[in-house]
C-alpha cells in the first residue's frame, strides 16, 4: 500500500479495463477529447452537444469523455467536480481514464515533490485545489497532510475507478489508441493509455472504428478506421466532440 494510503486509509484499486459493450444507440454518441482542466470550455461544449441533439429531435445526448481531465489547464479540480456530480438534464455521461489521471493518481497515493508529473501540468492541477509547490517544498514532511486536507477523497476514488475503454458494436473508444497487433478484447492498459506508434501509423482497418484522444492535432482526424478528438484545448485549441452514428458520417462540434 502506498504512503498516503497507509497514512489515511486510502487503498488503491485496480481500474476496470472495459465498460460493458453497448449497442450504439438509435441516436448519436458524442466522444469528447482531452479536457485538461478547461472547465469553461467543457461546460460550453456540453451545452453545444445538447443543442445539437435537440436540433436532431433527440431528447438527450450520450457522451463519452476520452480521459485527460486534469493537468495543464486552469481548473482541473472544477472539471472533476463536474464529472463527479450528476450531469445536466438531458446528458448521459460515460467517463474513461487517461494517462494524466494515472499520473495524478500516483501522486495522490505517494506525494513526491520531485515527481515528473509536476512538469506536465501537475503544478496547475495542485493550484486548482489551492496547493502550491513552493509552500509544500517549504514543509516537505507535511506534503501528504496538505494533499489530504485539500484534495477530496472522492476525486481520488473517481479517477481510480475509471474504466479504460467503451465499446459499441461499431466503435471502440479509449484514451490513446490500441495496439494494432492485438485483438481489441486483449488490449493492455499501457497501450490504451499511452500508445502513439505503432497505432498512429497503422493503415489497415480493425474490428471497430477506434475513437481516441491523447495526441493533439490542429484539426480532428477523421480517418475512416480511427478518429482523433484531441485538438489541444490545453494550448489554446478548441475542445472537440465528435458525433458518432451507426449510419451517418462523423460530425465535429467544437468550443474555443
Q: How is the chain split into domains, by residue range? A: 3-10+26-255
Distance separating alpha carbons of residues 242 and 213, to the nearest angstrom? 11
Fold of 3-10+26-255: Purple Acid Phosphatase; chain A, domain 2 (3.60.21)
Q: For the chain, first and last CA: distance in Å? A: 42
| pLDDT for the residue 24 | 55
| pLDDT for the residue 141 | 85
| pLDDT for the residue 6 | 30
Please state whether 31 falls in left (phi above 0), alpha (psi between -120 and 50) or beta: beta
Q: What is the mean pLDDT of each run of 10 residues along the chain (256 residues)?
A: 34 49 71 99 98 96 98 98 98 97 95 94 98 91 92 97 93 97 94 97 94 98 96 98 94 97
Distance separating alpha carbons of residues 77 and 70, to the nearest angstrom? 8
In tens, the pLDDT along 131-163 reads 999 999 998 888 899 999 999 999 999 999 999
- For the chain, where are the alpha helices, taking DSSP H only? 3-8, 39-55, 76-84, 99-109, 122-128, 133-138, 143-150, 153-160, 189-194
Amino acid at each position: 500500500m502506498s504512503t498516503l494510503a497507509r497514512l489515511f486509509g486510502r487503498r488503491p484499486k485496480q481500474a476496470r479495463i472495459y465498460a460493458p459493450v453497448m449497442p450504439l444507440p438509435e441516436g448519436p454518441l458524442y466522444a469528447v477529447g482531452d479536457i485538461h482542466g478547461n472547465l469553461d470550455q467543457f461546460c460550453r461544449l456540453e451545452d453545444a452537444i445538447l443543442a445539437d441533439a435537440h436540433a436532431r429531435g433527440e431528447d438527450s445526448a450520450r457522451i463519452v469523455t476520452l480521459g485527460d481531465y486534469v493537468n495543464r489547464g486552469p481548473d482541473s479540480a472544477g472539471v472533476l467536480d463536474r464529472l463527479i456530480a450528476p450531469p445536466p438534464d438531458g446528458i448521459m455521461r460515460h467517463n474513461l481514464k487517461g494517462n494524466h489521471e494515472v499520473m495524478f493518481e500516483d501522486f495522490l497515493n505517494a506525494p513526491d515533490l520531485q515527481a515528473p508529473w509536476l512538469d506536465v501540468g501537475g503544478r496547475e492541477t495542485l493550484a486548482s485545489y489551492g496547493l502550491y509547490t513552493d509552500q509544500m517544498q517549504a514543509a516537505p514532511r507535511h506534503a501528504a497532510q496538505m494533499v489530504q486536507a485539500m484534495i477530496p477523497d472522492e476525486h481520488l476514488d473517481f479517477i481510480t475507478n475509471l474504466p479504460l475503454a467503451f465499446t459499441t458494436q461499431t466503435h471502440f473508444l479509449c484514451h490513446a489508441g490500441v495496439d494494432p497487433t492485438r485483438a481489441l478484447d486483449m488490449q493492455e492498459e499501457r497501450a490504451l493509455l499511452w500508445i502513439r506508434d505503432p497505432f498512429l501509423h497503422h493503415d489497415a482497418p480493425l474490428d471497430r472504428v477506434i475513437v481516441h484522444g491523447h495526441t493533439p492535432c490542429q484539426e480532428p482526424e477523421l480517418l475512416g478506421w480511427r478518429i482523433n478528438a484531441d485538438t489541444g484545448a490545453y494550448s489554446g485549441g478548441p475542445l472537440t466532440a465528435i458525433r458518432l452514428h451507426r449510419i451517418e458520417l462523423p460530425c465535429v462540434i467544437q468550443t474555443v
